[in-house]
A and B are shown apart, each in its own frame.
Chain A
């Protein structure tokens, strides 16, 4: 059980309690409005939910989920196609040239192409996550043992069968891990794209609370963002456990 331990629910609860205790301690030591104590933030969170925080969480969830889904729907097929030498020969250099660029600098171009609405926010998240998923998927497909392919060919397989029975299932654990990692990245980008030209989403809530120096509300939105990330992470982990049961034995 290489990865089984940390997923136990009690360990999550203990970790959360520990972090909250540290936070409490820090807020007492600092004694400044910039770091309110956990109970204050908790009440602000409840008040936020009673008002419109839920709506903003929903908007942010929508943007992140769409961004990751959009990225995955391009990156996964392209990465898997890199199994074919001829495809990889042209794709790999392009990937590795474009991958290290800080894609956030593309923002002006994206706004020019897709406007300043939701679409450009989703596209920027998607572009950044796209490369993370693509690179991992491509590497997984390239490192596949040819014996699996031969084994399937000996059963009379066509190219379609090879993708369905070998390449996709063999790469799926890596793909899902890449998507889990991309949750963290996409939330960081989410904050960036929601901090301007919008009046919706958790990033906006944070910036707005900050401008009013309403620190409890600021931290409440931050907690909401952390919970959003955690939920997406856990959902992907469940999907991985269901679809890739074979790696956990």
Chain B
């Protein structure tokens, strides 16, 4: 479970990023957060991940901090580390023994089709492959809560659909709580059992939309999908 109570965030320079944000995401649910750019979505994820302290309100997580993983916008990879070094980094920091972290990393890299790139640097990979490295690094930590900041935004449409399917399967198989920030309505509807719509800055919750058909066979081409997209679109506040 993730509960945000009266969250507000004003940066030291006076920028008000969030104002009175309230929501509850049930344990094991998938949630999409959608809002225009600059409305405070990344800020919100940093607060949920415990990296930034909100200036008001609080967050309750039904999990230990070490059970939360965050995938940053633009993949958050370290250009000076190889794919393998990036993937094991979280495990290394947590003091997992070398042989154990090797085993976990190799099996995940195999699953994500990264095995033959172990010694490549991120720059040598395509965007889609870099994002897979980001997924592998986060999943290696076996998180109960997975936070993702626009993970698929900079990918081409085909790669994007493949990885959307991958995320859906991942969520179905693992029973983890998944929070995905996006600015694509279709993506929000395809992946979010709960869809939180934010207003322009200072971000606050414009609407929370239930989306119970997530995970249905071929949801993308069903009438219910388009109806839901329309509902979300109608609830997005007009940009100023």
Interfacial residues, chain A to chain B (CB-CB below 8 A)? 147-148, 150-158, 161, 165-166, 169-170, 172, 244-246, 249
A-B contact pairs, 27 of them (CB 8 A): A147-B73, A147-B76, A148-B78, A150-B46, A150-B72, A150-B76, A151-B72, A151-B77, A151-B78, A154-B49, A154-B51, A154-B72, A155-B69, A155-B89, A155-B93, A155-B94, A156-B65, A156-B90, A156-B93, A156-B94, A158-B93, A165-B89, A169-B80, A169-B81, A172-B80, A244-B80, A249-B121
B interface with A by C-beta (< 8 Å): 46, 49, 51, 65-66, 69-70, 72-74, 76-81, 89-90, 93-94, 121, 123-124, 137, 141
| B119 nearest CB across to chain A (Å) | 10
Q: Which of A147, A153, A156, A169 contacts B66 (CB 8 A)?
A: A156
Which 7 pairs from chain A and chain B are nearest by CB? A151-B76, A154-B70, A155-B90, A169-B80, A246-B80, A246-B121, A153-B51
Residues of chain A within 8 A (CB-CB) of B79 are 246
A161 touches B46 (CB 8 A): no
Identify the closest chain A residue to B80 (Cβ): A169
Name which residue of chain B comes closest to A154, CB basis: B70
Residues of B within 8 A of A245 (CB): 121
A169 to B81, CA, bound (A): 9
Secondary structure type dominating chain A contacts: helix
**Interface centre among A152, A170, A246, A249, by most B CB within 10 Å?**
A246
Measured between beta carbons, the chain B residues less than 8 angstroms from A172 are: 80
**A147 B93 Cβ-Cβ under 8 A:** no
Residues on the A chain within 8 Å of B78, using CB = 148, 151-152, 165-166, 169
